[in-house]
A and B are shown apart, each in its own frame.
Chain A
């Protein structure tokens, strides 16, 4: 940055501020601090000398303008000494615009109660919109049921590949590790009591019934749920959804239903894979840490783990899938015409769908327990 200097000369009742060099917006705050410290009590005239300044920018012009009007407010006679024509022009430019822009319009502040009311009202509207969305999904379902030709098999197959086959790796790995960790942590406790063989009961029931469906649903909510929201949100911004509508391709038929159906088919299958991998992880730990052979593990598994646990776990699949897909797509459709709203809605989509899955799981838990299954 080019150096500017400020020379302050004080004689009896007169103060001279002499600027030199190239004055730009980088130098303003430095000079401002110095000038503010000057005691003005005995002074009745000020001379701002910029005769030796090479050039100024508009920020400096505003600064000088403010400075002189501040001094004038304090009843101090202020003189601005300028020679250069360009600098004079810049100063004039600022003065002219200062008159025009008197004050920026103030954003009206709302009361606290008003804000709460608005917040609740907006959430209520959001709830209504979600209900409208579900209604639309239901109507499309009826349309699908009317004729087999109405079902978009191609899109469904594509989505099964995207959110099912391509997720196999990550779902398998996560479930395997969860099985491993659960077995490892409980092996230590069970060893204390010499109840080694009970690891089979524990792993079998907890994985089949609760852990595999939940873990799979959470992975899929993060993976496919966010993808659905971002895809559909982006399509809304690029007007692709509008283009579809004007061409008579109802997005609910072409985009929404295939995704929901695909996920409802895929999730139970993924849960099954997750079951296998989770139990495999548990078996590995049982073998290494507790010396339970594979034969013994399988035999015990047959004896104590009822098939109903597997079915309960798989049954949760379609329900979780419906929640994840419908929340994700609804969030995608809620995207407004700006890029920020994609990020906002994607975050919301993942958080809300995981929350919904856990609530749904809790309800299942209560229902099945009271039914005695």
Chain B
């Protein structure tokens, strides 16, 4: 199996506060990989480090074969076109409509015609389960769940092979959350995506994830599948997974 992301000996420090120290993980191609852990363990921080939003104090991180510690500007720009990121609240550009948000990377990076781009937008809007009539609304006019779907459509605009999702189901009602999980699974099989996600939603974790990493106490407390997670001796795992019964 091809390694998509590899983190070695990661150390992260925020104003004298050590977040990660000697953290290692590997994400393989085709995985839906979960970053889990108690609040403040640095799950989102780790994800931000993977997408070059956060400086790594020491250690090495490689994503899609690029080493992030001394990546050139040109390679960094290349790499950024190969992934899609969905932020917690969608982070849609508020001055643009949903359609314009999705169109933006296509307009900037490709020489596709206006008609072609319109077709692609229509397809992506369908893919994530939005209505075509929503395309011309502004982000302020739509609900939180729709924002997440629109954010996902934008993340998928360039057909990336790697997708980062930051708490995709938080703030959604249970029905929408399960729909979102189904959507993620469907996208993975349709597009052959590798998905890295941070989540607190137990149902979603069991429904979607192939492998998880539990970040606790600055390191990875467990990495692997969910099957034998309950046998691991760790306070967080015992309280978090202890009461959940898999169907």
Chain A residues with a Cβ under 8 A of chain B: 234-235, 238-240, 242-249
- Per a CB cutoff under 8 Å, which of B76, B89, B104 touches A247? B104
- A248 touching B91, Cβ below 8 Å: no
Inter-chain CA distance A247–B52, complex, in Å, is 11
> What residues of A have a CB within 8 angstroms of the CB of B87 in the complex?
239, 242-243
> What residues of B have a CB within 8 angstroms of the CB of A248 in the complex?
76-77, 80-81, 105, 109
B interface, size bucket: 20 to 34
Inter-chain CA distance A245–B77, complex, in Å, is 10
> What residues of A have a CB within 8 angstroms of the CB of B48 in the complex?
242
- A238 touching B52, Cβ below 8 Å: no
- B88 touching A239, Cβ below 8 Å: yes
Q: Could you tell me the dominant secondary structure of chain A's interface residues?
A: helix
Least distance between A144 CB and chain B CB atoms (Å): 15
- B80 touching A238, Cβ below 8 Å: no
B:138-155 near A, CB below 8 Å:
none
- B93 touching A239, Cβ below 8 Å: no
Inter-chain CA distance A235–B164, complex, in Å, is 20
Inter-chain CA distance A234–B105, complex, in Å, is 22
> What residues of B have a CB within 8 angstroms of the CB of A246 in the complex?
51-53, 80, 83, 85, 164
- B91 touching A239, Cβ below 8 Å: yes
- A243 touching B85, Cβ below 8 Å: yes
Inter-chain CA distance A244–B108, complex, in Å, is 12
Known contacts A238-B94, A240-B93; is A245 also within 8 Å of B52 by CB? yes
Inter-chain CA distance A87–B223, complex, in Å, is 51
B:31-90 near A, CB below 8 Å:
48, 51-53, 76-77, 80-81, 83, 85, 87-89
Least distance between A165 CB and chain B CB atoms (Å): 18
- A243 touching B104, Cβ below 8 Å: no
A-B contact pairs, 5 of them (CB 8 A): A239-B89, A240-B92, A246-B80, A247-B85, A248-B76
Known contacts A246-B80, A247-B104; is A240 also within 8 Å of B51 by CB? no
> What residues of A have a CB within 8 angstroms of the CB of B76 in the complex?
248
Binary per-residue interface labels of chain B (168-208) against chain A in the complex, 1 for a CB within 8 Å, 0 otherwise: 00000000000000000000000000000000000000000
Inter-chain CA distance A243–B89, complex, in Å, is 11
- A240 touching B94, Cβ below 8 Å: yes
Q: Which residue of chain A is the closest to B78 with respect to CB atoms?
A: A248
Inter-chain CA distance A240–B85, complex, in Å, is 12
- Per a CB cutoff under 8 Å, which of A234, A235, A238 touches B89? A238
> What residues of A have a CB within 8 angstroms of the CB of B77 in the complex?
248
Which 8 pairs from chain A and chain B are nearest by CB? A248-B80, A239-B91, A243-B91, A246-B85, A239-B87, A246-B51, A248-B77, A240-B91
